[in-house]
Copies of this chain bind each other. A is one copy, B any other.
Amino acid sequence: MRQQFQEELNEIREQLVEMTRLVGSAMTRASTALLDADVTLAESVIAQDQEVDRIHHDLEEKAVDLLARQQPVATDLRLVVTSLRMSADLERMGDLARHLAKIARLRFPDSAVPAGLRGTIVEMSGVATRMVAKTGDVIATRDVQKAREHERDDDAMDQLHRGLFAALLDDKRAHGIEEAIDVTLIGRYYERYADHAVSVARRLVYLVTGEYATEDGLSKAL
Q: Which residues of A contact B (CB under 8 A)?
A: 53-54, 56-57, 60-61, 64, 67-68, 71, 73-74, 77-78, 81, 84-85, 88, 91, 165, 168-169, 172, 175-178, 180-181, 184-185, 188, 218-219, 222
Contacts and interface: CB of A to CB of B under 8 A. Distances in A.
A222 B60 contact: yes
Contacts of A172: 176-177
A78 B64 contact: yes
Nearest to A176: B172
A99 to B, nearest CB: 10
Interface of A is mostly: helix
Copies in the complex: 2
A114 to B, nearest CB: 12
A61 B222 contact: yes
B57 A222 contact: yes
Contacts of A81: 64, 67, 84
Contact of A188 (B85, B178, B185, B218): B185
Contact of A67 (B56, B60, B77): B77
A219 B53 contact: yes
Given A57-B222, A222-B57, A73 B68 contact: yes
Nearest to A67: B77
